[in-house]
Chains A and B, each alone.
Chain A
């Protein structure tokens, strides 16, 4: 395993930190005001499996609505999954309540996409970072806690004096750093980064990506890195999982996936990403994937990708393809590879 832990992406150990098995999250679509009847389900996540090892960064990519955020929220216990299990250090998360849940929450943190809405505008930066520390009783002493807040700000590349500011007095990049500092304050083991850099400008985005990488190394963190930006994922992740319509279609080590995509959807996705080099672009044959993403309420039968697939065969609409390992560490859900 250590062979993928190339020096510039940090070290990955062998022990599994998070293991997701058969995760399903179906949101009921209701009708009626008094007697809310369930008329359908949004199959936001429809049976996915993966593991994340300690120190690893797993990328989760896919188009809008494919269930990336929902997966993250399930791990964070912000949603109650319909089915499946989520093990954290071998302990089942779903069903935890009260103090146990609070204890776990300290160890699993999140960084949100939108730096504007993920900070409570009424609280000062110091309070935003300090409150969780206080509530979890990590540092009961006020002065020491303030000291810690300043440290955290510094660690995230912010001026410690910012503790007295409100979020609206800061730029987007700075706010995103505050969100990171808040998560770090609880000394978590695992952080879900849900589109943590997508809303930032390229130059700021690069700053934050570097910060995340540094912190990973410095504090031995594990990330679930959710993004729709394939370039960023390629840059930061050890392994990448591709989702489509609530299902996992491909999972492999980063360079293997990008250089050697197996699933037609992964290939189409890569094809669609423009490359910032006019010469290369000129040379690329643009095979544009057709059609739009179907609704997760009524996903296509069999392989959900078959209506847009260019290598579709007769059996595709009928049977759900198994998610199988085609090469060591390379999993694909397609019968044709």
Chain B
């Protein structure tokens, strides 16, 4: 009965689905609906560009000490002034963006992916695995960050990679928990049953069918977490547990003297502080808007 399908086809052919909007129109729509989020996105993009083209946009080597210009106030030469070793604050902030973004993205990516896989698996398998996993996560969630950071830093030494590790450890359970709760809902949706009914293996279902579907909460989490990681890095550096001199890093710039002469040489403390605030601000604005856009429960009815 080949004619049969042909016949049906004839009917169906003219059904044209609603036209898809080109991306620039979508972008414009988003800009109109989420002006705040777009502002955040702009900040983030500027930061990324700044980090990538740091060599081009900075007048000085961020590591260059010039003892004749120690704590020079902002002027034509040094637009944000110099720090106590005579290094250009502006250049250090620009290069600091590299550190901040590296720490932020790396820890969000690594921690996020780990949390994603753990969270989805936990939800998917359920049962005893889930139960034990949950208890372990409880411990990690309740465990204070300082101890964790201090231990990691003391055991492995300071430095960017270890700071990332110290930030990841508490992030994984948080991420896993958020992912798990969405994944629990996803697990109940028929397309997962459909995948099972098609005879797919566990790994395929977890990675291909479940994980991509918790992307919305995951991405929201991740963007917010990039901001948080930057902030945590700054706080750790401020406590002396983070990135180390002479690496240009924002938290580090606020530490060690910046505070003591915050009044007579405010530029040393103000600009890095603003940089941190602005960066975290940007990521959070962006993440917030992303939440409004991606989270179907919050999507304004249209």
Contacts and interface: CB of A to CB of B under 8 A. Distances in A.
Same assembly:
yes
Interface of A: 34, 73, 76, 78, 101-103, 105-106, 108-110, 112-114, 117-122, 131-132, 135-136, 154-159, 162, 165, 169-171, 174, 179, 182, 186, 211, 214, 217-218
A179 B15 CA distance: 18
A280 B200 CA distance: 51
Nearest to A185: B198
A76 B197 contact: yes
B18 A169 contact: yes
Interface of B: 1, 4-6, 8-9, 11-13, 15, 17-18, 20, 131, 189-191, 193-200, 204, 209, 212-213, 215
A105 B197 contact: yes
B286 to A, nearest CB: 22
Contact of B8 (A118, A120, A165, A211): A211
Contacts of B212: 120, 122
Nearest to B6: A154
A171 B197 CA distance: 24
A121 B212 CA distance: 9
Given A110-B197, A159-B15, 19 more contacts: A78-B193, A105-B199, A106-B199, A108-B197, A109-B197, A112-B190, A112-B194, A117-B190, A118-B189, A119-B191, A122-B213, A122-B215, A135-B198, A135-B199, A157-B5, A157-B12, A169-B18, A182-B198, A186-B198
A153 B250 CA distance: 57
Contacts of B4: 214, 218
Given A110-B197, A118-B190, A154 B5 contact: yes
Contacts of B199: 101-103, 105-106, 132, 135-136
A93 to B, nearest CB: 13
A303 to B, nearest CB: 33
Chain A to chain B: the 8 pairs with minimum beta-carbon distance, closest first: A105-B199, A157-B8, A102-B199, A132-B198, A122-B212, A118-B190, A157-B12, A112-B190
A154 B9 contact: yes
Contacts of A118: 189-191, 193-194
B5 A155 contact: yes
Contacts of A132: 198-200
Contacts of A117: 189-191
A136 B200 CA distance: 9
Contacts of A155: 5, 8
Given A135-B200, A169-B17, A218-B4, A110 B131 contact: no
Contacts of B196: 78
A211 B9 CA distance: 11
Contacts of A106: 199
Given A109-B197, A122-B212, A155-B5, A174 B131 contact: no
Nearest to A114: B190
A121 B9 CA distance: 24
A155 B209 CA distance: 26
A132 B15 CA distance: 27
A214 B198 CA distance: 23
A135 B204 contact: yes
B58 to A, nearest CB: 42
A110 B194 contact: yes
Nearest to B1: A218
B189 A159 contact: no
Nearest to A154: B9
B204 A182 contact: no
A113 B1 CA distance: 28
A108 B131 CA distance: 33
A120 B198 contact: no
Contacts of B197: 76, 78, 105, 108-110
Contacts of A154: 5-6, 9
B17 A165 contact: yes
Nearest to B134: A33
A136 B198 CA distance: 9
A119 B213 CA distance: 11
A110 B131 CA distance: 31
A43 B200 CA distance: 29
A88 to B, nearest CB: 14
B126 to A, nearest CB: 11
8 contacts: A105-B199, A108-B197, A110-B197, A120-B209, A159-B13, A169-B17, A171-B17, A174-B17
